[in-house]
Structure 1
C-alpha cells in the first residue's frame, strides 16, 4: 500500500455512543436546556420519577449520574423510567466526573466508560431493566424505615404550619375566582400530556379554572389552553406562560425570601408570594381548597404509594400527606376522571342519533299512504308561519 493511501485513509470509528454533553448538578435545570440527542451529566442520589420524566421529555439519549441512582433507601422510580424509555443510564461514576466533563463537550460512552476522544474520563455501572428490578426489590425492604421517618416529619410539619393548613393563614389572595367551581391543577409529572388529552371533553364541558404548577403552565399552553393561575418558581416557567395574563404565585421560605420573583417583575407581570415549606403542588391544592373550589382535579401529581414516596425531600412527603387530608373529598385524580368521561356517550353523538332516527321515521312515513296528508299539513304550517298568522 502506498504511503499516500495510508495518509488519506479515514481514521477508524471509535466504538460507543457519541453526543454533546450537558452538565449540571441540578437535573431539573439541565432538563430545561438539554436538546434531543444529547447526554445529560448529573449528580443526584435516588433519581426520582419527575426528574427522569423531564429528561426523557427533553430527548436525551443517555444519563450519566455521578451518584447512585438507587441507594436502596426506598424504591424510587426514576431509573426504571429512563431504562424503559430506551435512555442509557450510566450510574455511580463518581463526583469527579462533574469537573472532568465540560458542558458542550462531545462525550463518548462505551461499555460504561466515558471518553473525550480517546482520553478516558471515568467509568460507571450501566443499568438495565434487570439490574434496576433487582435494586428495586432490595429497596423495598427499606420502606419501614422511611415510613417511620415520614411520621416524624409529618408531626414536625404540622406543628410548624398548622395555622396555614387548618385556617389558611398565609395563603395569599388571588384574583382568580374559584368558589363553587371546578379547578384543574396540572403539573409536568408522569403522563401529564396524555392525561390532558383524555380530559379534553371534561375541560370543554365544565370549563374548570386552569392552574399550572411550574412547568405545568407550559404543558397547558402546549395542549392549547391558557392557564389562569401559575404556582411555582418562575425559573422553571417560560416567558410565554408568565406573560399569558395568568396570576402568578411564587413560593417563598418562611422568612419571606422568594427566589425568582424578580423575573416575574422584570416581565411586567404581577405576582404574590406564598411563604411555606410545602411543595408547589400542595400550594396549588391549598389555594384551590381555601378558595372554595367545588372539585379539584389533578394531572401529573403523585397518586400511588410508590409515587408518593418517590420524593427527594421528607418535608415534601409530609406536606403532600397533610394537604390531601385537608382537601379531602373534593380531590379527584385526573386519570380516574378521564376514565369516567371516556365511558360517556358525547352529547353530539346523542343528537346525531336522534336526528338519524327522526330522518328514518319521516322517510318511512312519507312513502306510506299517509305521506300526502303529512306533506299537506307541513305546507300549511309553513305558510302560516310565513304569514305571521299562526296555525
Structure 2
C-alpha cells in the first residue's frame, strides 16, 4: 500500500506538533521516541511518521513506537539525516520502507511493525538491570553535587506577585496522562481554587481545560505563544550560572518575566518555589518520577527530583496517573440498574409483611376491576 502526503520537518518533535496539520506526514529526528511525544503526534492526527533515527534502540523499553502502531500510524525508522533537507509541504510517497519524492527514490528505512517493536522491547527489558545500575550511580553522583537543593533554601524572587502563602498549589507538568489527570481532579480545582502553576507545556493543558494559569515557569521551549500571552506571571528557569536561553523568546514577545537560576528540572524548581513561598499543599500532575520517565527525557539520573521530593514531601500530593483510578463514565444503563436495585428491599419487606401483602392484593383487584378483566 502506498501512502502519499505533505510533510512537516523538524528535529524537535515538540516543535513539529505545534504546526503539523491532520493527515500530514511527520519527519522527526528522535531516537527512543517517548510516549508523550508519540501521543502528541497521535493527537495531531498525523498520517505517518518518518524518523531519522531508530525509534527504539534497545537501551530501555520506551513506549512511543508501540503507541503509534496501536493507532495504525505507519512508522518508518532510521532513514538517515538526508531526509531533513525536505521542505515543509513537499509531497512524498511511502512504499513499505522506501520514500519517494517526485517519483525518485529519496530514502530507505526500516518499516516497523508491532512484532519488530515488541521484539526490541523484550531485548531492552533484558538489559534493564544494567541500565538501572548506571542510572542509580548517576543519580547518587549528581545528588552529592546538587545537595544545596536541600541544605539551602531556594531564593524566592522579591518581584514575585503570585501569592502562595496558606494556599494549595496545583503544578501541571507535560508528562504522561497529564491531560486526563487534570480533568480527573476538576472538582478539586473548582472547589479549592489552588494557585495554578504551569510548567512549560503544562500551562497549555491548563488553558485547554478552561483554566488560566497564575504562574508559568520553565525554559519556555514547549509552550505556545497564545498561552504565554494569557496574562500569567512568567518565571524563566535559568541554569545555575544565570544563562537563560528561554528568556530571548520572552524578550522578543515583549512580555515581563523574572529569571530564576537554579539546578534541576523546571518541575523541581516549581515545587521548591511554592514550598519556599509558604504553600499549604502541592498537588502535582504529570510529574516525571521514575527511571523510564527520565530516560525518555534524555536524562541519565534523577538527582534533583529525588532531593526535591525529600524536601517538599511533607506537603506534596502526586496526582500522576490519578485518572487510571476511575473506570468508565456512568451511563444511563448503570443508573437504571441502581434504581431497580433500590426496589429490592421494598419487595422483600412486602413479601414477608402480612399487612403489605393484603394491601397489594387489594390494589391488584382494584386494578383488574378498572380494566374489566
TM range (shorter): 0.7 to 0.9
Residue number in structure 2 paired with 1:143: 128
**Shift in alpha-carbon separation, 1:20–1:201, aligned structure 2, 3 A:** same
SS of equivalent residue, structure 1 residue 323: helix
Structure 1 Cα separation of the partners of residues 142 and 135 of structure 2? 10
Pick from 291, 316, 319 the counterpart of residue 334 of structure 1.
319
Q: Does 1:39 align with 2:15?
A: no
**Shift in alpha-carbon separation, 1:273–1:33, aligned structure 2, 3 A:** same
Residue number in structure 1 paired with 2:352: none
Q: Deviations over 1:164-191 (max 9, x none)?
A: 3432245545321223322111123322
Structure 1 Cα separation of the partners of residues 243 and 260 of structure 2? 10
SS of equivalent residue, structure 1 residue 186: strand
Residue number in structure 2 paired with 1:96: 82
Structure 2 Cα separation of the partners of residues 94 and 340 of structure 1? 42
Residue number in structure 1 paired with 2:360: none
Structure 2 Cα separation of the partners of residues 335 and 108 of structure 1? 40
Residue number in structure 2 paired with 1:368: none
* Structure 1 vs Structure 2 CA RMSD: 2.4
Q: Is the 8 A contact 2:236 2:259 kept in 1?
A: yes
Q: What is the correspondence of 1:1-391 to structure 2 with a 5 Å cutoff?
A: 15-99=1-85, 101-170=86-155, 172=157, 174-303=160-289, 306-315=292-301, 317-334=302-319
Residue number in structure 1 paired with 2:336: none
Q: How many residues align?
A: 326
Structure 1 Cα separation of the partners of residues 282 and 92 of structure 2? 46
Flag structure 1 segments of 5+ consecutive residues without an equivalent: 1-14, 343-391
Q: Is the 8 A contact 1:28 1:51 kept in 2?
A: yes
Structure 2 Cα separation of the partners of residues 84 and 276 of structure 1? 40
Q: Deviations over 1:33-70 (max 9, x none)?
A: 22221111112221112222222232222111111111
Structure 1 length as normaliser, TM-score? Answer: 0.76
Residue number in structure 2 paired with 1:387: none
- 1:98 CA displacement: 2.1
Structure 2 Cα separation of the partners of residues 54 and 340 of structure 1? 23
SS of equivalent residue, structure 1 residue 251: strand
Structure 2 length as normaliser, TM-score? Answer: 0.80
SS of equivalent residue, structure 2 residue 163: coil
Quick check: 188-197 or 108-117, which moved more? 188-197
- 1:244 CA displacement: 2.0
Structure 2 Cα separation of the partners of residues 44 and 318 of structure 1? 24
Q: Is the 8 A contact 1:201 1:341 kept in 2?
A: no
Q: Is the 8 A contact 1:176 1:228 kept in 2?
A: yes
Flag structure 2 segments of 5+ consecutive residues without an equivalent: 328-373
Structure 2 Cα separation of the partners of residues 54 and 199 of structure 1? 22
Structure 1 Cα separation of the partners of residues 199 and 270 of structure 2? 7
- 1:138 CA displacement: 0.8
Q: Deviations over 1:112-150 (max 9, x none)?
A: 211113211112122222222221111112222222222
Structure 2 Cα separation of the partners of residues 133 and 321 of structure 1? 31
Q: Deviations over 1:262-308 (max 9, x none)?
A: 33234343212222342222222222222232222222223555435
Q: Is the 8 A contact 1:183 1:297 kept in 2?
A: yes
Structure 2 Cα separation of the partners of residues 130 and 168 of structure 1? 50
Q: Is the 8 A contact 2:178 2:320 kept in 1?
A: no
**Shift in alpha-carbon separation, 1:135–1:121, aligned structure 2, 3 A:** same
**Shift in alpha-carbon separation, 1:87–1:332, aligned structure 2, 3 A:** farther
